[in-house]
Amino acid sequence: MSSADINGDGGIDLMTIASDGSPAVFQSEGFGKNFARLSLAGKTSNRSAIGVKAELRSGSLRQKIETYSSSPAPASAGIQFGLGYRTGVDSLQLYWPAGILQSELSIKANANNSIDELDRKGTSCPLLYTWNGSEYSFVTDFLGGSAIGS
């Protein structure tokens, strides 16, 4: 049995092989609720992003997913979070197998979000972003004794 969103409606569909060898597909109704789909690509970690831990927050909703492979031939299938009636994502944190912590704030609902692993060391200094009224913008990093001020 395998699962994927075959028709792109946000509902997870099931595929299997019947006892007579014919394929069988069971399509989810989807129920018209929202979702956030991620296509991940590793740089320092493996290219298929196997082993990534992802945590999504949307209002009071908090979900965690850890990717893994259950077949001899690992392939990236992406990650999909169900949002219910929530229309947006507040934040997404990715913890890559190489030890890199990555935060994403521009995740779109009901769309495929392609995310590449940041090209930095796992021990890289944290970064500070602020809301400027319309989007998050970079302020500084925390390298050294003080992030802001003297």
Position 95 scores a pLDDT of 92
- 41 with 95, same domain? yes
- 12 with 57, same domain? no
- 98 with 82, same domain? yes
Is 103 within a domain?
A: yes
Contact 35, 81 (CB under 8 A): yes
Segments of the chain with pLDDT less than 50: 145-150
Here the CATH number for the domain that contains residue 71 is 2.60.40
Contact 42, 117 (CB under 8 A): yes
- The enclosing H or E element of 146 equals none
Position 148 scores a pLDDT of 47
- 50 with 112, same domain? yes
Backbone angles phi, psi at 78, to 5 degrees: 80, 175
- 11 with 61, same domain? no
Q: How many domains does the chain have?
A: 2
How far does Cα 75 stand from its chain's mean position?
16
- 27 with 38, same domain? no
Position 149 scores a pLDDT of 45
Residue ranges making up the domain that contains 51: 33-124
